[in-house]
A and B are shown apart, each in its own frame.
Chain A
Amino acid sequence: MAGKGRGIAAFTFNIEALGLTRGSMPETQRGPTPLFPQIEYKPGPLKAGEDEDYMRALKQEMRGRMKDLPFNIKPHAGKGDTNRKAKISSKDKEELLNKLDENDYIANYFEDGDDYGGGSDDNMDEATY
């Protein structure tokens, strides 16, 4: 049923019966809606001053401090392993380092160009020619 007219979108309902016209349709989506709404007028600046800075610092300090107080209830960690000491073997360390380098970036994006790094010759062990 759809697409009877070539290249013209056909609706599965009778558009005139609803009292609508083709022209009143909203625009087709061209991608996901933006994460933050577009605003026409930028908001005014925040109040800035000694008082505001001090209160902001108080807020940040409190946030940090309250995490260390006994009121911050931690969920149960695994049972009975609070005293087990972790040992990092050299094998584990290598594994860790490899894990850190795992990513899907194209490696040569990070390469420096050939002309890069014609830097200082100080503190070089080797002689320069």
Chain B
Amino acid sequence: MTAQEVRLCGLLLQEHFGDVVEKVGTHLIRSGVLTLRALAYETKLALDLVKKSLCVLVQHGMCTFGAGRRGPAGPVEYRINCEHILHMLRYPRYIYTAKSLYGDTGELIVEEILQRGQMTMSSTVKTVADRLTHNMPEGQSMDYSEVVSAFSRLVETHFLQRCPPMASAGSSSSEAVDTPIPALSQPAEPESHPECYKLPYINLTGQGKRRRSSEDGEDDQRAAKKAKTDNSECGDEGIYWQVNFQRFHLHFRDQAIISAVSCKLDQTSSEIVRTMLRMSEVTTPAHAAFTQALSANECKQSGIKALIVFHQIFRALPPSYNIARPILDQYLTLLVDDPMEFVGKTGDSGGGMYVVNLHRALANLARATLESVVQERFGSRSARIFRLLLRKRHLEQKQVEDFAMVPAKEAKDMLYTLLSENLVQLQLTSCPPPDYFCNTATRRLLEKSQRIEAILASLQATGAETAQLTEVEEMITAPERQQLESLRHHINKYYTNRLDSSENQVDETIFLLESYINSTQASR
């Protein structure tokens, strides 16, 4: 873990779970593996706070526990899963993807499960039905069966999966003795569980309930609590579901390839590639493709994904694409001939045997991303030099000047700049200083409003009455309030929104580069 990644994890934990969990989490990241007592001692936090924090982290799949160095008889040790923490950056993308695939119902299901880490099917269905009902016109409500159906589709396509079963550490029954806590070094892989995607039978009929009171936040909690306690009635108690991040990542990767094809060639070509990817979806594991025709070794080396026969592609195309066989043949030829090498042809039987070159495609996408980063930061000439270096691997400075058609001094400067910057590092540099737009009067107003907010917060925490709170609020006059409002709007529009959107978009780029790196490691 780099120092930046550790810092980012800390910030994410703090943003979502507060300072206490951040402190516990960050310390665990830095120390590696710790027992509860050691963690409490070293963070100087109260034991119950540390326990609660660990519960939160375990609940969200960000921390695992297991038998420690002293074996099953010794104290349990905890280990952080940093990858899962970093996934929090991508939550909006997971939720939006679920929305695009399975509508509002799918969107809310994934959102609820992400926020709570893990949930039973029945409590998810009830909570989501309530939320959907709340947004429907008066008199209408969302039937549980519709939500159950969306949930089922998400499970069938592997976007949701059962949480790996925990050893029953707390139970005092004789069964507990026979199921020891697994060693921490071997965390349970969800897919190693054979029933990972098996839907439980639940006894659940009815509709979402409409909330009457106005406090949404409290009702969310109350509804969730109620849904939790009602679990035992439905028949799926103890069966918890989590989001399958890997599956979403596969989807993102496919999307990246499909949209690259669409940009480079055209929509029809991209639909063909989408069809091919979909055909090989359920049958092939994530990183490699193994077919009966080709030997396993060959597949592994070239990182191909399923061998698909021409006729199969033709039959599997969406009905709206009314392409005749010879036209499909032409499209496939175009795809195969394209320098991006998305699709390859490996044989002629059955009308032609085609593959999607995943590793090659990812490598090309990663390269294009890097080139575009260099171009944006250092200009088009530097980008030319960079592209050259990528292709030729080793070049002397003189050769760079000649190939890139750039004068000697410029070449020298640019090469030095590229060298001194770490080329694979992406940084946001577009953020202007925070208060250059502020004149002193505005700043005074901002400080006043901040102090009032602090006073209000501390009064609320000590249980002040509404009348007293209103008194304090009225210390800001109406015109001041208006000024504050327009200032807040300005800040949001030009800074907050752009920063938040940048977070999302930088993460997209990071995902592409990570996918490429992962695919190189997998194909070894």
Contact = CB atoms under 8 A, between A and B. Distances in A.
Contacts of A87: 468
Interface in A26-77: 35-37, 39-44, 46-48, 51-56, 58-60, 62-63, 65-77
Contacts, number: 143
Nearest to B432: A36
Contacts of A58: 91-92, 95-96, 111
Contacts of B475: 96-97, 100
Given A35-B433, A87-B468, A73 B463 contact: no
B440 interface: yes
A69 B115 contact: yes
Contacts of A35: 433
A73 to B, nearest CB: 4
B221 interface: yes
B464 A86 contact: yes
What's the interface size class on A, roughly? 35 or more
Interface in B120-164: none
Contact of B430 (A43, A56, A68, A71): A43
A41 B20 CA distance: 41
A93 B504 CA distance: 45
Nearest to A42: B430
Contact of B115 (A46, A62, A110): A62
B323 to A, nearest CB: 28
B217 A68 contact: yes
B430 A88 contact: no
A103 interface: yes
Given A37-B429, A41-B376, A85-B462, A76 B46 contact: yes
Contacts of A76: 46, 49
Nearest to B16: A66
A84 B95 contact: no
Interface string B357-386: 000000000000000000011110000000
B17 interface: yes
A63 B17 CA distance: 10
Contacts of A82: 462-463
Nearest to A53: B501
Contact of A55 (B15, B96, B498): B96
Contact of B502 (A46, A96, A99): A46
B221 A105 contact: no
A109 B441 CA distance: 9
Interface residues of B, number: 62
B18 interface: yes
B472 A88 contact: yes
A74 B221 contact: no
A100 B456 CA distance: 13
A62 B49 contact: no
Taking each of A44, A70, A83, A100, which has the highest tally of chain B beta carbons within 10 Å of its own beta carbon? A100
Given A71-B60, A86-B464, A88-B471, A62 B91 contact: yes
Contacts of A42: 430
Contact of B444 (A56, A60, A97, A103): A103
Interface majority SS on A: helix, strand, loop or mixed?
loop
A93 B462 CA distance: 17
A115 interface: no
Contact of A70 (B221, B377, B498): B221
Interface string B485-520: 000000000001110111111000000000000000
Contacts of B92: 55-56, 58-59, 62
Contact of A100 (B448, B498, B504): B448
Interface in B93-131: 93, 95-96, 111, 115-117
Contacts of A47: 501, 505
B416 to A, nearest CB: 14
B430 A73 contact: no
A68 B215 CA distance: 12
Contacts of B500: 56, 59-60
B455 interface: yes
A126 B366 CA distance: 74
B286 interface: no
A46 B498 contact: yes
Interface of A: 35-37, 39-44, 46-48, 51-56, 58-60, 62-63, 65-77, 81-88, 93, 96-97, 99-100, 103, 105, 109-110
10 contacts: A39-B377, A41-B377, A54-B96, A55-B92, A58-B95, A65-B220, A71-B16, A71-B56, A100-B451, A100-B475
**Closest 7 A-B residue pairs measured CB to CB?**
A55-B92, A58-B92, A73-B20, A86-B464, A72-B18, A56-B501, A68-B217
Interface of B: 15-21, 46, 49, 52-53, 56, 59-60, 91-93, 95-96, 111, 115-117, 217, 220-221, 376-379, 429-433, 440-441, 444, 447-448, 451-452, 455, 459, 461-465, 468, 471-472, 475, 496-498, 500-505
Given A55-B92, A58-B91, A62-B111, 11 more contacts: A39-B429, A43-B430, A52-B504, A56-B501, A58-B95, A58-B111, A65-B220, A68-B217, A71-B17, A73-B18, A73-B53
